[in-house]
Structure 1
Amino acid sequence: MVDFGTVYLVATGAALLLALGVGLRVLVGIFRDGRERSRKRREGEIDRYTEDPVYDRDPPDPDADGGTPSTCPQCGAENESEFTYCHECAAPLGPGG
């Protein structure tokens, strides 16, 4: 008779070994890529520090849309031009502000 506990342990062990093998291949690839990049930096093929287009940008200008602060018609609070509702009383600011 087949013991299902033993079959479960064997199947789980095989799946874990397979996952370990795949994970090791990925880690070896990452390690090789890092060594290759280090070699290229040492030999001057690539710059040591390259500009990152995401993090090297200037912060956005809050007044870039040319809008002016709008006043809430209900409570009179000053709101940013991009707000649709008042930050104080949550009243709609409307299309004109």
Structure 2
Amino acid sequence: MFDVGTAYLAAAGALLLVALGVGARALVRIFREARERSRKRREGELERYTKDPVYDRDPADPEADGAARSTCPQCGAENAAGFCYCRECAAPLGPN
């Protein structure tokens, strides 16, 4: 007769195989794109670091955003001016 447990295992197995197939194709595309970008960098067609198009800043220079910084009075860590609490010790930074 029809066993529900066997049908469940067959359906779960089929879904797993489909997910593995889709995931493998995506990973192959990512690998090929990374290999192509690496080749372009080696040949000088692509700069090593380029501006981030979303934030228009250089990812190699984290301080290049030009934002004011505030120093934590408790631990001395540098924080962005908009922070209310220290990113290192979670102490209140005071009014900004």
- Which band: TM-score by shorter chain? 0.5 to 0.7
Q: Which runs of 5+ in 1 are unaligned?
A: 63-78, 83-97
Q: Give 1:72's aligned residue.
A: none
TM-score, with normalisation over the residues of structure 1?
0.58
Give the whole-Å Cα distance in 1 for the aligned partners of 2:2 and 2:33: 47
The count of corresponding residues between Structure 1 and Structure 2 is 65
**C-alpha deviation, 1:15, in angstroms:** 0.2
* Structure with bigger gyration radius: 1
Give the whole-Å Cα distance in 2 for the aligned partners of 1:60 and 1:5: 62
Q: Give 1:59's aligned residue.
A: 67
Give the whole-Å Cα distance in 2 for the aligned partners of 1:60 and 1:40: 36
Q: Percent identity?
A: 57
Give the whole-Å Cα distance in 2 for the aligned partners of 1:2 and 1:61: 68
Structure with the greater relative contact order (CA < 8 A, sep ≥ 6): 1 or 2?
A: 1
Counterpart check, 1:34 vs 2:42: no
Q: Give 1:17's aligned residue.
A: 17
**C-alpha deviation, 1:51, in angstroms:** 2.7
What's the C-alpha RMSD, in Å, of the aligned pairs?
2.0
**C-alpha deviation, 1:27, in angstroms:** 0.6
TM-score, with normalisation over the residues of structure 2?
0.58
Tell me the alpha carbon deviations over residues 30-84 of structure 1, each in whole angstroms, 9 at most, x when there is no partner: 100000000100111111122332554211489xxxxxxxxxxxxxxxx85x8xx
Give the residue type in structure 2 aligned to 1:35. Answer: R
